[in-house]
Structure 1
Amino acid sequence: MKNYLQEMIKRKDLLFYLVKSGLKAEHRNSWLGYFWWLLDPLLNVLVYYFLVVIILQRDDIPNFPLFLVIGLVVWRCISSSINSSSKSIMRYSSIINQVYLPKSIFPLSFTLTQLFNFAFGFVVIAIFLAIYRVMPGWEAVFLPFIILVQTVFLLAVGLFLGYITVFVRDIDNLITYVTRIFFYASPIIWAGGRLGGTGFAWVIDYNPIAIIVTSYRDVLMYKDLPDFLGLFIILLLSSAVVVYMLYYYSKNEHKIIKSL
């Protein structure tokens, strides 16, 4: 395990290169490039605002467009990280078969790539905060902690899915439906409090994505403290998964080469 981590540190230049190349490849054939990270949340807000407010006539959430944009920006980072990191090892299979590299560096690079893109989404959130004249309080100092929890959580999921997908290729197709379930089971376009009297409150209480999204809204919109207990549990469990997966990678990377 120690030697494996030392090898990853030696390959830090490769990690930076993978992140940089991943950012370029993501927008290589796009005219608007990184502007899509600004435009996509705006278009999604329009779509879901039309659906929820105009069609369903549910307008009981104050500053609903701001509520929407926070949820959609966070969700895009989460879903993009899960989808890209799950395919990360398969994507670089040609390199892996030729040169020895720590295989865990590939899910890590894709997670960091989406974290960089996530920064563009905060520009959109800042614009909506200004439009609705919502000034975050001192609670915003916990924003880096929430981002840290989200990153460790996504890294844990990415390391696990990146390894499993090598051996079970159908996982890639299944992820599409699983992420869709989590989208509708999390308060992305609706308020979590609506499940309070339905017997499904556990969907929010034990859903890590729901806890993360709600924590962003707490510190940015409502000047409230985030759910520290939920965030610490996510951080603790995710950190344990990351450590275990790194150990597992170090002992079983030869199986990845044989499968590829």
Structure 2
Amino acid sequence: MKNYFQEMLKRKDLLIYLVKSGLKADNRNSYLGYFWWLLDPLLNVVVYYFLIGIVLGRGGENFAVFLVIGLVAWRWMQTTINSSAKSIMKHGSIINQVYLPKTIFPISITFTQMINFAFGLIIVATFLAFFGVMPGWQSIYLPLIILVQLVFLLSLGMLLAYITVFVRDIDHLLTHFTRILFYASPIIWEGGRLRGAELEIGNNVIVLDFLVDYNPIAIIVDSYRNVLMYQTDPNFLGLTIILIASFILFNIMVKFYSKNEHKIIKAL
């Protein structure tokens, strides 16, 4: 495993190249180019604000700020999850010709989308200023939340990339799974649509609040809003659990890749 980590470090130039090429590919052949990094999250907010705030009459005070924070954080998660799953298969031709640590490919996706997320934060800052929402001193915890989300997505991306090589159906199922996560998490709804919902099984009634309370995406998104919008502390306990669990999974996946990469080559 130590040798595998060293091999990954030797390939840092390739990682940087993949991140740069990924950023260029996102806006290739578009007239507005890199301006889409700012325009895309802005248009997302406009669409959902129109549907929920105007058409459905839902929302509340500073709902636009609530939306932009949730959508920008979610965008990093969604694009990373969907792209990481097929990252190894996408580079199958390279993998079959040259030996490379396969973890580089899902890792590059996560860092590529993190840069897009950084541009999304510019939109968040613009909304905060426009609507007069002033973050408190708790905003110093913002890098911590970003770190937790980064490690979470790195570990999850590596897991999905490996599984998808052998179970190609995962790539198709992820679209529907992320849609469920979107509506179950507090991205566009306060507490998510599952808050207060009940599931009846025979004579038993199960309250689905636990799917929100223990949802890592909900914990991360709510923590962003706490420090940027509500001037309160993030969910330290939840973030700590996510960070530790993600770090453990990351190390498990690195060890797993190092021992089973030959199976990936055969499967491709």
Q: Is structure 2 residue 250 aligned with structure 1 residue 251?
A: no
**How many aligned positions are there?**
259
Deviation at 1:55, TM superposition (A): 1.9
**1:199-237 CA-partner distances (Å, limit 9, x unpaired):** 222121111001000000000000000000000000011
The aligned residue for residue 57 of structure 1 is: 57
Indicate the residue corresponding to 2:106 in structure 1. Answer: 107
5 Å matches for 1:1-150? 1-59=1-59, 61-150=60-149
Query: Deviation above 3 Å: which 4+ runs of structure 1?
Result: 193-198
Point out where structure 1 has 5 or more consecutive residues left out of the alignment. none
C-alpha separation between the residues in 2 aligned to 1:35 and 1:126? 17
RMSD, aligned CA: 1.2
Structure-1 residue corresponding to 2:215: 207
- Superposed, 1:173-188 pairs within 5 Å as 173-188=172-187
Preserved contact between residue 89 and residue 165 of structure 2 (Cα < 8 Å):
yes
Give 1:132-171 correspondences, 5 Å limit. 132-171=131-170
Matches within 5 A, 1:183-198: 183-192=182-191, 197-198=196-197
Corresponding residue of 2:232: 224
1:187 to partner: Cα distance: 0.5
Equivalent residues of 2:184, 2:193 under 8 A apart:
no
Name the SS for the 1:17 alignment partner. helix
How far apart, CA to CA, are the structure 2 residues paired with 1:84 and 1:34? 19
Residues 259 and 147 of structure 1: CA distance in aligned 2, closer, same or farther (over 3 Å): same
Deviations 1:89-116 (A, max 9, x none): 0111110000000001111111000001
Alpha-carbon distance in 2 for matches of 1:196, 1:68: 17
- Give the whole-Å Cα distance in 2 for the aligned partners of 1:221 and 1:52: 20
Q: What residue identity is the alignment partner of 1:135?
A: M
Aligned 8 A contact 2:186 2:193 in 1 = no
CA apart distance, 1:196 = 5.3
Measure the CA separation in 2 of the matches of 1:105 and 1:53.
41
In structure 2, list runs of 5 or more residues that go unmatched.
198-206
* One-letter amino acid of the structure 1 residue matched with residue 261 of structure 2: E
TM-score (norm 2): 0.94
**Greater mean alpha carbon deviation, residues 47-56 or residues 242-251:** 47-56
